[in-house]
Structure 1
Amino acid sequence: MTHKIDWDDAYRQPQAPAWNIGAPQPEYAALIKQPDTVRDEVLDAGCGHAELSLALAARGHTVVGIDLSPTAIEAATAAATERGLTSATFAAADITELTGYDDRFSTIFDSGLLHALPDELRENYVRAMYRAAAPGATFYVLAFGAGAFADHEGPGPTQFTEDQIRETVSAAWQVDEIRPATLHANVGEMPGFLLTAHKPR
């Protein structure tokens, strides 16, 4: 099973990828300012250029950002150094086969990764995140909803219904809430969902 998109090539292009908006997704930017949303060590899954990781580190959290693209990880590491954010570290790895972090993270953020994975890798991914989660951990998933790309033809990100995203994540996690959300890209805004789940203690 392999990823169908060359993610590293996407980050090597002179123009930033459409999902790289130079800031955390606004849904998460608001969420991380709320009390008790972020606990202990954080995993930013599929971090890309890691604006979410950097925002969390700036708020005093310890964060590990992981992405398949070494180019993105290099850029994220340089940005953390430039901003003096020593509590954010980054690693290039396949998040769908992640090992070496068992029971570690109390908070996990997915900022548009789940919808980018091929169907056959999704269960591996949610189970890998469950392994990496500490007992009682919270998992946040921000993903495209049905109708996000009404005119799109050919392969592209998955557009989930509420039932589909619930079924996907509940293969490993206890789903607590799914609510409508807006995802931002440098080409506009798309409808989606923000799912919250937890790992039982």
Structure 2
Amino acid sequence: MTIDAMDWDGAYREDGFFDGPPPWNIGEPQPVIADLIRAGALRSDVLDAGCGRGEVSLALAAANCTVLGVELSDTAVAWARRSAVQRGLSNATFEQADITTFAGHDGRFSSVVDCTLFHALPIDKRDAYLKSVHRAAAVGADYYILVFAKGAYPAEMVSKPNEVDAYELHAAVGRYFDIDFIRPTPILAKVDALPGLPDVVLPFERDSLGRLQFPGYLLHARKSGSGIA
């Protein structure tokens, strides 16, 4: 099975490809995204594209942003909605939808955050995804993407994210948005062994909680008043 054929709902039910919870589910926002939230870099309304169990959305809501999390997995959406109720965060709502065909919120969002969704999309769906996000974003909206860099996973791994280099990321996103920066940044994941490659040791450091720090990129872009609609 390839990443493009991943059973995402199975992954969130914890009976899919992974042994236990999905490794990207670290129980909190990725540190670089948490830093953006603390700095007030994400402005209401926020679209959390591929929100998973909603930790980024919930952190944004706790910081007084109105946020809509969009996720393909029903299981993940149900989890996020329960968490919002438990935390008393009525300004975080969640929608089960395919982000590549997402519609109904044209020009609404002042910020869009993609925390590790981009590399999970089939490469041939990237353009449709970017069109959907561009349509949903307001003029002047900030767009942040956190994505695995090329080389994050071994080439021989059968099912792995569709990693990117900086040029590839710039070329894809730059068709629709004005790129501000692309910079290296780590992505944390709870990984002890790679599926199908139990003897491969990844050459990355772990943080203080034992989470592997994979190489990634943080992109920041803005929607201009011109460009492809």
The interval holding the TM-score normalised by the smaller chain is over 0.9
1:50 matched residue in structure 2 = 54
Q: Is 1:181–1:192's contact at 8 Å kept on the other side of the alignment?
A: yes
Q: In structure 2, list runs of 5 or more residues that go unmatched.
A: 192-211
**By how many angstroms is 1:40 displaced?**
2.0
User: 1:46-93: per-residue Cα shift (whole Å, max 9, x none)?
Assistant: 000010000010011100000000110000000000000110000100
| C-alpha deviation, 1:173, in angstroms | 1.2
- Corresponding position of 2:6: 5
1:180 equivalent to 2:184? Answer yes
Deviations 1:19-64, CA, capped at 9 Å, x for gaps:
10000011100111114x1112001000000100000100111000
Match of 1:169 in 2: 173
In the alignment, the residues of structure 1 paired with residue 173 and residue 42 of structure 2 have an alpha-carbon distance, to the nearest angstrom, of 20
Q: Normalised by the size of structure 1, how large is the TM-score?
A: 0.95
The reply on whether 1:80 has 2:81 as its aligned counterpart is no
Q: Which moved more, 1:127-136 or 1:142-151?
A: 142-151
SS of residue paired to 2:175: coil
Partner of 2:21: 16
Equivalent position of 1:196 in the other structure? 220
RMSD: 1.2
Task: For 2:38, give the aligned amino acid.
Answer: K
CA distance 1:161–1:78, shift in 2 (3 Å)? same
Alpha-carbon displacement from aligned partner over 1:143-187 (angstroms, at most 9, x marks no partner)? 000111136521320121110111111121111110001101111
* Structure 1 moving runs of 4+ over 4 Å: none
User: Among residues 23, 28, 33, which one is paired with 2:33 in the alignment?
Assistant: 28
Question: Match of 2:215, as an amino acid?
Answer: P
SS at match of 1:32: helix
Determine the structure 1 residue equivalent to 2:208: none
1:123–1:171 CA contact under 8 A, matched in 2: no
Note the 1:82-97 alignment, pairs <5 A: 82-97=86-101
**Bigger Rg, structure 1 or 2:** 2
Q: How does the TM-score come out when normalised to structure 2?
A: 0.84
| Correspondence for 2:128 | 124
Q: Using the aligned pairs only, state the percent identity.
A: 45
Give the count of matched residue pairs.
198
Which amino acid letter does the alignment assign opposite residue 196 of structure 1?
H
Decide whether the 8 Å contact of 1:110 with 1:140 is kept in 2: yes
Distance 1:116 1:168 in 2: 15
How far apart in 1 are the matches of 2:24 and 2:156?
A: 16
